Amino acid sequence: MAKLVLIRHGESVWNQKNVFTGWVDVPLSSNGIKEALNAGEEISATEFDVVFTSLQIRAIETAMIALAQNKSSKTPTVIHDEGKMKDWTTIYNPEMEKSVIPVYRDWHLNERYYGELQGKNKAETAKEYGDEQVHQWRRSYDCPPPKGECLKDTAGRTIPFFEESIFPHLKAGENVLVSAHGNSLRSIVMFIENLTKEQVLGLEIPTGKPIYYEYKNGKLEKENK
């Protein structure tokens, strides 16, 4: 049975400041680093075959910090797909090449784009536009913020990527770690668990807390830990 573990990145500096972040590429806070370490300890016994992250540093940091706690002797290694970095990161030792856990970064797993809300304080934005309007922008399925993405838009890129790039590894019996964001993971969980638009409104994915699935009998089943 293959295992899938989803982790929302640890608390970022802008999470801490209660600011809409979206695609702004900010790092983890000191508390976020602790959350990533705790997540890594929790999943330390699972040997992963492949890792996927977004392009954003908070998700990459979380994956690498978590994997630093892993009991596997394999080394997580960022895969570069083009240019000189592709050529010059070639591993010429077959033994070491076998000991690598490939880490693939892809924009399809990026956080929901918050458009003109990015960089704005959430509480101040609620005062400006009203609590109900901001709640709709943040939690609804198909109501985007000004010039941004709604969850439906995010799902339009995350779900095809999951089906085409991640799911085949599970079918092949490989253990997969995905480190991404609250909304990109909400859309993936919605797909895996076949949630309705109404059910996904109440879905909250906490920072730094692993979510576990097993692939068996041709489908993904959630594990409660």
**Residues tagged active-site:** 9, 111
Output the known binding site for substrate.
8-15, 21-22, 58, 111-114, 122, 138-139, 182-183
Strand duo 211-216 + 219-223: pairing: antiparallel
Output the known binding site.
8-15, 21-22, 58, 111-114, 122, 138-139, 182-183
Q: What is the rounded CA–CA span in Å between residue 27 and residue 44?
A: 23
Q: What is the rounded CA–CA span in Å between residue 62 and residue 68?
A: 10
* DSSP annotation string for 115-158: GGGTT-BHHHHHHHH-HHHHHHHHH-SS-PPTTS--HHHHHHHH
Q: What is the rounded CA–CA span in Å between residue 1 and residue 150?
A: 34
